[in-house]
Amino acid sequence: MRILIAEDETELAKGLKFLLEKNKFTVDVVHDGEEALTYFRSRDYDVAVLDIMMPKASGLDVLRQIREAGSGVPVLMLTAKAEIEDRVAGLEAGADD
């Protein structure tokens, strides 16, 4: 299973990658929204994990473009935001969780 992680917090991204690879997943890590779209368009992913707040394009922007392109790849959103509205925005944009 190939997973794309788009997270601008380097240490968090490293930790996620370590844990997933330890469990035999193939993981690509990018640190901004533009990179996330480039990787997503050039590879086949089974799951994408997107941070909501990233440079160059937010995780919500990336998610909208993924869904507009017709992809049904499951997407999990990461956020440090605690507001319900932020969670709802992610789900309305097409996130799975």
Check residue 93 and give its pLDDT: 66
Which CATH number is 2-93 given? 3.40.50.2300
Check residue 10 and give its pLDDT: 95
- Of the candidates 70, 40, 84, the one whose C-alpha atom is nearest the C-alpha of residue 50 is 40
Rounded CA-CA distance 53/39 in Å is 18
Check residue 85 and give its pLDDT: 74
Check residue 86 and give its pLDDT: 64
Distance of alpha carbon 8 from the chain centroid: 11
| Single pTM value for the model | 0.87
Domain residue ranges of the chain, discontinuous segments joined by +: 2-93
- CB of 61 within 8 A of CB of 8? no
Check residue 68 and give its pLDDT: 93
Q: What is residue 70's DSSP assignment?
A: T
Check residue 88 and give its pLDDT: 66
Q: Both tokens of residue 80? A: 């440090």
Check residue 81 and give its pLDDT: 64
Question: What is the Cα gyration radius of the chain?
Answer: 12
pLDDT mean by block of 10 residues, the chain; 97 residues: 96 97 98 97 96 92 93 88 66 66
Span between the terminal Cα atoms of the chain, in Å: 18
Check residue 79 and give its pLDDT: 76
